[in-house]
A and B are shown apart, each in its own frame.
Chain A
Amino acid sequence: MDLKLKIWRQPGPDAEGKFVHYPVHNISKDASFLEMMDILNEELVANGEEPVAFDHDCREGICGMCSLYINGHPHGPDDSITTCQLHMRKFKDGETVVIEPWRAKPFPIIKDLMVDRTAFDEIIQAGGYVSINTGGVPDANAIPIKKENADLAMDAAACIGCGACVAACKNASAMLFVSAKVSQFALLPQGKVEAKRRVENMVAKMDDLGFGNCTNTYACEAECPKDISVANIARMNREFFVAKIS
């Protein structure tokens, strides 16, 4: 299949960027989106041009490194997958595909489609860990945990920190990410010990970094490759409220 790509090119963090048109030909519909990008880059290199910089790592949907805002959707038009799991059969032959970087003040562009997501690491450093001494590995039945809570914590922990929630949100809010990280600990006994301090510090850091405010549009949930639920945001609001008044 043939495609008309419109790709955001920006030589460096402070450089002016612009959209550049690249036609690509004879792409297999079974190719992944990133393989299509690789093919384009090989052509660019062969022609002596600068290849398009984009983030990727594991290419199996678990590392959270790939990004790309494709035709108005973070991680492209398909549901519940990352860009590296997106296949070209989701596009029509001859289609125009607009590829943009994540857009948010706390995610500055490094080059082309690569953005710096250090802001997420800083939020984790503000409290997304357990620092109490939990001792050795206990017997499986020594700490009783409700099955429902174990499942909810596991679902929240599925967040790979890719930033699609921020990219999708009209306010560039990081609430879905932060709430997933708050929830995965708050639901379990080892995490509960530091729950109050954690939610206050992580929210303060999130605000400091300049992410927007959540207005409950739920675009984040719709675009999340790991289907993190906005119920986590409600849980974080609850945790935050309780921490502030107690």
Chain B
Amino acid sequence: MSVMYSSITKKIWMSLMGLFLMIFLVVHLGINLLLLFDPTRELFNVVAHFMGTNPIIQIFQWVLFAGFAIHIVLGITLQIQNWIARPKGYKVKASSEDTFFSRYMIHTGIIIMIFLIIHFANFFFKAKIFHSIPEFILNGVPTGMEDMGILVVQLFQLPEYVIGYIVALLILGFHLDHAFQSAFQSLGLSHKKYTPFIKGLGHIYSIVITLGYIIIPLFIYFTK
């Protein structure tokens, strides 16, 4: 169905969903960072419990899934159309001064999608479908909440998982670096004064998000 809509309509949706997912990444990072500040995992588990049970968040969870689905389906549709638009490529690869990461959005995007599936299998499905997460016991007292925190701590003690996670997050960073300013351009928000600022902010955003997420497995791996 996404083929029917015009190229610009698709791009506007692509950017809106992308911006929405970028806000989600900030919220998610904020919650994850709680693990660094509270060795008892209480803070993290309380927030995770709230996110898993609050009715408004439960509705928003479906909006988020829709956001991912639209972004992924449109991204793949746009890319397939783009490949069709040039059936025969050049012998000499283009060396135009474009932004490096912009050439590999589909590749970084697909890796992020695979990471997302693994991520869901490791956390979301365990909590929501299999209910296989142990109860959080604080100072010997059962709390009635799931211990999401211990799941994270256990996974981040496996070196192969830590490395995989860091690689996936670096790739997410590359994706975001192009995505941030690109979303504004697609929405027509270009201005000679503000566009350089948005480009700079996009670099800062992608670096902060990437480093923020990467610190957590490193911290857990080397301290626990």
Q: Do A and B bind each other?
A: yes
User: Which residues of A are interface residues toward B (Cβ below 8 A)?
Assistant: 6, 8, 19, 69, 71-73, 98, 100, 103-106, 168, 170-173, 175, 203-204, 206-207, 210-219, 222-223, 230-231, 233-241, 244
Are B189 and A105 interface neighbours, CB within 8 A? no
Q: Once bound together, how far apart are the Cα atoms of A146 and B86, in whole Å?
A: 40
Q: Once bound together, how far apart are the Cα atoms of A236 and B11, in whole Å?
A: 12
User: In the complex, what residues of A have CB within 8 A of residue B93's CB?
Assistant: 72
- Nearest CB of A to B161, in Å: 32
Q: Once bound together, how far apart are the Cα atoms of A219 and B95, in whole Å?
A: 9
Contact with A along B38-60 (1 / 0, CB 8 A): 00000000000000000000000
Counting CB contacts under 8 A, is B223 at the interface? no
Q: Once bound together, how far apart are the Cα atoms of A153 and B164, in whole Å?
A: 50
User: In the complex, what residues of A have CB within 8 A of residue B97's CB?
Assistant: 218-219, 222
Residue of A104, A207, A217, A241 near B86 (CB, 8 A) is: A104
Task: Name 16 A/B residue pairs within 8 A (Cβ), A-sorted.
Answer: A73-B95, A106-B85, A172-B85, A213-B78, A213-B82, A216-B102, A217-B99, A218-B97, A218-B102, A219-B97, A235-B190, A236-B8, A236-B188, A237-B185, A239-B188, A244-B9
Are B90 and A203 interface neighbours, CB within 8 A? no
Contact with A along B114-145 (1 / 0, CB 8 A): 00000000000000000000000000000000
Enumerate B127-182 residues with CB–CB distance to A below 8 Å. Answer: 178, 181-182
Are A214 and B11 interface neighbours, CB within 8 A? yes
Are B192 and A231 interface neighbours, CB within 8 A? yes
- Nearest CB of B to A190, in Å: 22
| CB-CB nearest in chain B for A74 | B96
Q: Once bound together, how far apart are the Cα atoms of A235 and B195, in whole Å?
A: 13
User: In the complex, what residues of A have CB within 8 A of residue B8's CB?
Assistant: 203, 236-237, 240-241
Enumerate B179-202 residues with CB–CB distance to A below 8 Å. Answer: 181-182, 185-190, 192, 195
For chain B, the count of residues having a C-beta within 8 Å of the partner chain is: 40
User: In the complex, what residues of B have CB within 8 A of residue A235's CB?
Assistant: 188, 190
Are A215 and B102 interface neighbours, CB within 8 A? yes
| CB-CB nearest in chain A for B93 | A72
Are A237 and B6 interface neighbours, CB within 8 A? no
User: In the complex, what residues of B have CB within 8 A of residue A105's CB?
Assistant: 84-87
User: In the complex, what residues of B have CB within 8 A of residue A168's CB?
Assistant: 94, 96
13 further interface pairs, Cβ-Cβ under 8 Å (given A216-B185, A237-B185): A72-B95, A106-B85, A171-B85, A171-B86, A172-B86, A212-B86, A213-B10, A215-B105, A216-B102, A218-B102, A219-B96, A237-B187, A238-B188
Q: Once bound together, how far apart are the Cα atoms of A8 and B91, in whole Å?
A: 10
User: In the complex, what residues of A have CB within 8 A of residue B7's CB?
Assistant: 173, 175, 203, 206-207, 213-214
A-B pairs, 8 with minimum CB distance = A238-B188, A234-B190, A212-B85, A171-B82, A219-B96, A237-B188, A172-B85, A212-B82
User: In the complex, what residues of B have CB within 8 A of residue A215's CB?
Assistant: 78, 82, 102, 105, 182
